[in-house]
Amino acid sequence: MVVGVPLGVWLGIRRFLGRGLLVTLVNTGMGLPPVVVGLFVFLLLARSGPLGNLELLYTPTAMVIAQVIIATPLVVGVTMAAIQGLDERLRLQILSLGASPPQYFWKLIIEARLSLLAALAAGFGSIISEVGAVMMVGGNLRGETRVMTTAIVLETRQGNFSMAIALSLILLLLALLINLLFTWLQQRRGA
């Protein structure tokens, strides 16, 4: 959200040389396979990689890096579309009233807030369900980097289906509760 929303707003309002290429990269990133992200982050953080001296591989930080890379294009793309979908007259009116650049930026976010909640829900959905990249860079270490999705894979591989199903139901319930919150925020009157 912190990276994706501002970048999406910026791409939605700015015209510059190379913008088409950047938008194409964002759109490609929206469908980027998580295991490709996992491999990229793994190679970056491996001992022989450019950031290997940071010793982040198989840590929660590595997992967060991978998930940010997975979710950001979704948030950027949906935010950009939401901003571009705003009426051009609204943008002109905000500017004609003397809004400073930060005020203009903030007003556009307020006007597109319902779509931005959808962007956040899409980003959240992409990372709560992720297993490939997380397992590649986190290693599924008990007590350190094991998360619900990797635990479900592990329990299934070990034939402990009742535990895998129980963890799956908990994960589904968590996703449902978070999405209920997003839906409530998005659909409440006067939002």
pLDDT score recorded for residue 187: 84
- Asked, for residue 174, whether it belongs to a domain, the answer is no
- Asked, for residue 13, whether it belongs to a domain, the answer is yes
Number of Cβ atoms within 10 Å of the Cβ of 51: 15
pLDDT score recorded for residue 190: 52
What phi-psi label fits residue 32: left (phi over 0), alpha (psi between -120 and 50 degrees) or beta?
beta
**Structural domain range at position 73:** 4-142
What tens digit of pLDDT does each residue of 65-81 get?
A: 999 999 999 999 999 99
- As a whole number of angstroms, the distance between CA 103 and CA 111 comes to 12
Q: Is the pLDDT of residue 191 over 90?
A: no
- In Å, how far are 20, 82, 114 from 121, measured between CA atoms? 26, 14, 11
Ordered DSSP codes for 145-187: T--HHHHHHHHHHTT-HHHHHHHHHHHHHHHHHHHHHHHHHHH
Q: Is the pLDDT of residue 42 over 70?
A: yes
* Number of domains composing the chain: 1
Stated pTM of the model:
0.86
pLDDT score recorded for residue 185: 87
- Asked, for residue 83, whether it belongs to a domain, the answer is yes
- Asked, for residue 179, whether it belongs to a domain, the answer is no
What tens digit of pLDDT does each residue of 133-156 get?
A: 999 999 988 999 999 999 999 999
CATH of residue 63's domain is: 1.10.3720.10
- Asked, for residue 26, whether it belongs to a domain, the answer is yes
pLDDT score recorded for residue 87: 93
**pLDDT-derived band at 188, boundaries 50, 70, 90:** confident
pLDDT score recorded for residue 189: 61
- As a whole number of angstroms, the distance between CA 182 and CA 191 comes to 12
- Asked, for residue 66, whether it belongs to a domain, the answer is yes
First-to-last alpha carbon distance for the chain, in angstroms, is 19
Number of Cβ atoms within 10 Å of the Cβ of 50: 10
- Asked, for residue 183, whether it belongs to a domain, the answer is no
- Asked, for residue 28, whether it belongs to a domain, the answer is yes
